[in-house]
Amino acid sequence: MHAYYSKSEFQAFVRSDAARSGRVGLVPTMGALHEGHLSLVRQAQAECDLVAVSIFVNPLQFAAGEDLDKYPRTMESDFAKLGAAGVDAVLVPRVEDIYPADFQTVVSNDTLSGILCGASRAGHFNGVLTVVLKLLNIAKCQRAYFGRKDFQQLTLVKRMVNDLDVDCEIVGCPTVRDPSGLALSSRNTYLSPAERESSVKLSQTLREIDARVAAGERDVARLMEVARPLADDPLIAPEYLEIRSPGLETRYEDELELPAVALIAARVGATRLIDNIELAPQD
């Protein structure tokens, strides 16, 4: 495994004969790697000839007052995990290399970036889309791998690639959970033991919605009743619980249509967590 600390060095690598001889897969991350990230790496390795991982804490997607400065940075541990996983290359660019002093252009989606997480995080998805497009262009990869836990992000990235004719396939990979059902996230390290116990209620709420849908319930108001335990927990401040169409354009408020996706966000203590579950028609 080789680490590249500038985009020009990394670009020289991906343009080399070794890289051009096969399919290149990219796993974009912000570091603080856990089993969820490594599952993306394994899927990329199964489908690609060469796998690269980027580690870049993207300042453009953090609003004022968010956790940019304290976002976990565990480079030594990250490198050890990626080396053990057999990754071919790691891109660890400097901020000024990605966003030079004269940087002016950002990517936006006015339809989907202001809902769900975007409603409380103004400009967040502009930052996500901008850095992802830059990374795809830098890596010249044929496939890029993202977790389905960040469902809105995955949807926006797929839309961007389709709308802008980017020659890269975006692959959404299953959410990885700990034994309690909590979706793995780098931000889980912020949780106290009591907060971690409360945080499991997010995935429990989603599973209960899925169970009720599987049993035939289609009344959205009745499905939303399962969120009452969240409101009753003093450690949880719910932000949203919504059921939307797979492309997120339609929010169901009366009668549910399938397939759909239920999405949730809440603060557990000071930590903001998100999760989702896809609701499929029954056979």
Catalytic residues: 37
Cis peptide leading into residue 174 (ω within 30°) = no
DSSP state of 20: H
Instruction: Give residue for tokens 């959970």.
Output: 177
Token readout for 215 is: 């049993």
**What pairing do the DSSP bridges indicate for beta strands 271-279 and 260-268?**
antiparallel
Q: Which of 21, 28, 242 is nearest to 119 (CA)?
A: 242
15: exposed, middle or buried (Cβ count in 10 Å: 0-12, 13-18, 19+): exposed
194: exposed, middle or buried (Cβ count in 10 Å: 0-12, 13-18, 19+): exposed
Helix, strand, or coil here: 107? coil
Q: Can you say how many angstroms the Cα of residue 29 is from the centroid of all Cα atoms in its chain?
A: 9
